[in-house]
A and B are shown apart, each in its own frame.
Chain A
Amino acid sequence: MTRTAFERQLLAVQEDMLVMAGMVETAIERGVEALKTRNVNLAQQIIEDDLKINRKRYETEDKCLELIATQQPLASDLRTIVSVLHITVDLERMGDHAEGIAKIALMLADEPPLKPYIDIPRMAQVGIEMLMGSLEAFKDRDPARARAICDQDDEVDALYEQVYRELLTFMINDPRTIQRATYLIWTAHNLERIADRVTNICERVIYLVEGHIEELNVSKY
Chain B
Amino acid sequence: MRETTIPGKQESRDGAQAVGVSLGGLPYRPAHSAETAPVVLRLDKVGVSYGNVPAVNDVSIDIYKNRITALIGPSGCGKSSILRCLNRMNDLIHSARVTGSVYLDGVDINSDAVDPVQVRRHVGMVFQKPNPFPMSVRENVAFGPKRQGTSGRGPLNDIVEKALRSAALWDEVADKMAQSGTALSGGQQQRLCIARVLAVRPEIILMDEPCSALDPVATLKIEDLMRELARDYTIVIVTHNMQQAARVSDYTAFMLASEHGVNGQLIEYGATNEIFTNPKDKRTEDYITGRFG
Contacts and interface: CB of A to CB of B under 8 A. Distances in A.
A3 B278 contact: no
Interface in A1-38: 1-3, 6
Interface string B269-293: 0000000111100001100111111
A219 to B, nearest CB: 18
Contact of A1 (B243, B288, B291): B291
A74 interface: yes
Contact of B278 (A1, A72, A73, A79): A79
A142 interface: no
Given A79-B277, A211-B277, A2 B288 contact: no
A79 B276 CA distance: 10
A78 interface: yes
B177 interface: no
B135 interface: no
A72 B245 CA distance: 13
B242 interface: yes
A79 B291 CA distance: 16
A79 B279 CA distance: 11
Contact of B290 (A6, A79, A211, A212): A6
A211 B274 CA distance: 9
Interface string A72-101: 111111110000000000000000000000
Nearest to A72: B243
Interface in B122-142: none
A76 B285 contact: yes
Interface in B190-206: none
Given A79-B277, A79-B278, A211-B277, A74 B246 contact: yes
A75 B293 contact: no
Given A79-B278, A211-B277, A211-B278, A74 B292 contact: no
Interface in A39-79: 72-79
B275 to A, nearest CB: 8
Contacts, number: 35
Nearest to B243: A72
Main secondary structure of the interface of A (DSSP, over half): loop
Contacts of B289: 3, 73-77
B198 to A, nearest CB: 31
B276 A75 contact: yes
Given A74-B246, A75-B285, A212 B292 contact: no
Contacts of B291: 1-3
B193 to A, nearest CB: 28
Interface residues of A, number: 14
B33 to A, nearest CB: 13
B10 to A, nearest CB: 24
Contacts of A74: 242, 246, 276-277, 288-289
A77 B288 CA distance: 10
Contacts of B279: 75
A14 to B, nearest CB: 15
Nearest to A207: B278
Contacts of B292: 1
B290 A3 contact: yes
Contacts of A212: 278
Contacts of A2: 291
Contacts of A1: 290-293
* Most chain A CB within a 10 A radius of its CB, from B288, B289, B291: B289
Nearest to B276: A74
Contact of B288 (A75, A79, A211): A75
Nearest to B284: A75
Nearest to B278: A211
A78 B278 CA distance: 9
A78 B277 contact: yes
Given A74-B288, A211-B277, A212-B278, 20 more contacts: A1-B290, A1-B291, A1-B292, A2-B291, A3-B290, A3-B291, A6-B290, A72-B243, A74-B242, A74-B246, A74-B276, A74-B277, A75-B278, A75-B279, A75-B284, A75-B288, A78-B277, A79-B277, A79-B278, A211-B278
Interface of B: 242-243, 246, 276-279, 284-285, 288-293
18 contacts: A1-B291, A1-B293, A2-B291, A3-B290, A6-B290, A72-B243, A73-B289, A74-B246, A74-B276, A74-B277, A75-B276, A75-B278, A75-B279, A75-B285, A75-B288, A78-B276, A79-B278, A212-B278
The 6 closest A-B pairs by CB, nearest first: A211-B278, A74-B288, A3-B290, A75-B285, A77-B289, A74-B276
